[in-house]
Amino acid sequence: MRSRVNRRLLAGVAAAGVAALALAGCTGDIADDDGDVDCAPYEQYGTFEGKSVTIGGTILDLEADRLVESWKDFQTCTGIKVTYQGTSEFEAQIAVLAEGGNAPDVGIIPQPGLLQRLAEGGWLVPASKAVEDNVDKFWSEDWKAYGTHDGVFYAAPLMASIKGYVWYSPSAFEEAGYEIPTTLDELKSLSEEIAATGAKPWCVGLESGEATGWPGTDWIEDFVLRMAGADVYDQWVTHEIPFNDPRIAEAFDAVGEYLKNDTMVNGGIGDVSTQISEAFQTAGLPILDGECWMHHQASFYETFWNPDGGDANTVAPDGTVWAFLLPPVDADDPQAVTGGGEFPVAFRDAEEVEAFRAYLSSDTWANNRVSLGGVISANKGLDPNVASSELLKQSIEILQDPDTTFRFDGSDLMPGAVGADSFWKGIVAWVGGQSTQSVLDTIEASWPSS
């Protein structure tokens, strides 16, 4: 999703920007609604004369405007003035702001590892009972755990994304007689069949500024979850098994059959080496020109098919592009997906702050925001039919399915020295020619000792 995109694009911004952070990217306030507002859904939050809440995050541009729109009626009915400021530097600088007592009242954190760090620093306010009650009602225990540290619950989930989608052209597949693969072996066979025609089946872009390499970590995480299973995935991201465990190496090598293979990549762009220089935002576009066949990227990639902001390309089973989930090892295996999300943490202990966070954790907010377009949520009270596209509706249904095995993006759960550094850099070195074992040994050595 977009907040995650912004973080990955500009991760590692220098601390010199702290002073400017509080002023950057201001979205502005929503004016009082002049029309009729049904305040019944908001009566539970109370009224607060003259109270205000500040909120910060990495959500920018259109997504930020929609975020602000999503609490307009809440403001009108409760009297709480909510001011949002978005900046790409937020995640890099929030710990510094918190330590200096300059954090906003609420921060939208898209990385559970960062939430853990902020909690360890003693800067976060535990969530109120109202927030926790909503999470117990509307989310799974796994989602609640991502907002918990040392047994203390700090934040509810907000929005979500599903990773592991494989984007393709339905008309091109139909014309060529290709079928959607139902297993990883079938995916490999399909890729080999396409390659045998002289075409490059995959187009891949790993470039993302300081965060170059992160799209490759998504490939690895998807294969670890499918090939080794959820238990091994959990042990891997928590370092109960080493990063260079043979099962992780096996997943790397399976992905390497695509990303390190000149017959498989990089359709419409160049050879294997061009993956490192091709921006992730544009990497899938050769599908539109018939220059590649498939592109692995999350649900949020839907917005990139129309880079000019128009509607020339449609995302639908009979549209310009569509997507299928990376298949399991065996067709009968349960659905397993990786994904991401955000968590609104509190830095100020106040009733109006908790009233606002309770609203953000509600099914009312989820339906309000998703109906505005472009995002999804794992909130079980969300009506999938309010989603702005068929793919987002499908994604919501997958997240709400009790039989779905969901795991948060692995690099976001790992310590920053690994998940936002050595893992990303390791992908670049690996695609650039280094061996799997050498790369895994280097990443393992970077894992913090405490």
| pLDDT 10s digits, 352-398 | 999 999 999 999 999 999 999 888 999 999 999 999 889 999 999 99
Q: How many CA within 13 A on the CB side of residue 370?
A: 30
Tell how strand 336-341 and strand 405-408 pair up.
parallel
Provide mean pLDDT across the span 105-129.
94
Distance CA 113, CA 110 (A): 9
Residue 401 lies in a domain: no
Q: Are residues 140 and 180 in the same domain?
A: no
Hey, what amino acid is at 270?
G
* Predicted pLDDT at 335: 87
Which helix (H) or strand (E) covers residue 222, if one does? helix 214-228
Does the pLDDT at position 237 exceed 90?
A: yes
Q: Are residues 323 and 178 in the same domain?
A: yes
Lowest mean pLDDT among 83-92, 193-202, 271-280, 319-328: 83-92
pLDDT greater at residue 15 or residue 329: 329
Residue 296 lies in a domain: yes
Does the pLDDT at position 30 exceed 60?
A: no
* Predicted pLDDT at 445: 98
Longest dimension (CA), the chain: 69
Q: What is the pLDDT of residues 244-289, one digit of tens each?
A: 999 999 999 999 999 999 999 999 999 999 999 999 999 999 999 9
Lowest mean pLDDT among 16-30, 291-305, 321-335: 16-30
Mean pLDDT over the full length of the chain: 90
Could you tell me the two tokens for 41?
Answer: 């859904």
Distance CA 331, CA 412 (A): 28
Q: Are residues 174 and 215 in the same domain?
A: yes
Q: Are residues 180 and 116 in the same domain?
A: no
Q: Are residues 200 and 68 in the same domain?
A: no
Q: Are residues 331 and 346 in the same domain?
A: no
Four-CA torsion 65, 400, 1, 148, nearest 10 degrees: 90
Which helix (H) or strand (E) covers residue 181, if one does? none
pLDDT greater at residue 292 or residue 33: 292
Q: What is the pLDDT of residues 35-92, one digit of tens each?
A: 689 999 999 999 999 999 999 998 888 889 999 999 999 999 999 999 999 987 888 8
Provide mean pLDDT across the span 103-121.
93
pLDDT greater at residue 399 or residue 309: 399
Q: How many CA within 13 A on the CB side of residue 188?
A: 13
Per the structure, the complete domain to which residue 133 belongs is given by 2-159+342-382
Model confidence at 34, in pLDDT bands (50, 70, 90)? very low
Whole-number CA gyration radius for the chain: 22
Which residue do the tokens 């990385």 mark?
111
Residue 392 lies in a domain: no
Q: Are residues 277 and 251 in the same domain?
A: yes
Residue 45 lies in a domain: yes
Does the pLDDT at position 25 exceed 80?
A: no
Q: Are residues 139 and 258 in the same domain?
A: no
Could you tell me the two tokens for 89?
Answer: 């530097």
* Predicted pLDDT at 2: 32
Does the pLDDT at position 19 exceed 50?
A: no
Please report, rounded to a whole number, the percentage of residues in the chain having pLDDT higher than 70. Answer: 92
Q: What is the pLDDT of residues 135-144, one digit of tens each?
A: 999 998 889 9
Residue 24 lies in a domain: yes
* Predicted pLDDT at 35: 62
Does the pLDDT at position 450 exceed 80?
A: no
* Predicted pLDDT at 302: 87
Residue 204: CATH number of its domain: 3.40.190.10
Does the pLDDT at position 27 exceed 80?
A: no
* Predicted pLDDT at 92: 80
SS3 content of the chain, % helix, strand, coil (to 5): 45, 15, 40
Q: Are residues 139 and 174 in the same domain?
A: no
Q: Are residues 249 and 287 in the same domain?
A: yes
Model confidence at 326, in pLDDT bands (50, 70, 90)? very high
Q: Are residues 302 and 281 in the same domain?
A: yes
Residue 400 lies in a domain: no
Could you tell me the two tokens for 239?
Answer: 């370092």
Residue 31 lies in a domain: yes
Model confidence at 29, in pLDDT bands (50, 70, 90)? very low
Hey, what amino acid is at 252?
F
Model confidence at 310, in pLDDT bands (50, 70, 90)? confident
Instruction: Domain count for the chain, please give it.
Output: 2
Question: In this structure, are residues 80 and 74 in contact, taking their beta carbons and an 8 Å threshold?
Answer: yes
Provide mean pLDDT across the span 399-417.
90
Distance CA 79, CA 258 (A): 55
Residue 399 lies in a domain: no
Provide mean pLDDT across the span 196-215.
94
Q: Are residues 313 and 248 in the same domain?
A: yes
- Which of helix, strand or coil describes residue 204? coil
Which long-range CB contacts under 8 A does 268-272 form with residues at least 24 apart?
A: 268/200, 268/203, 268/292, 269/203, 269/205, 272/431
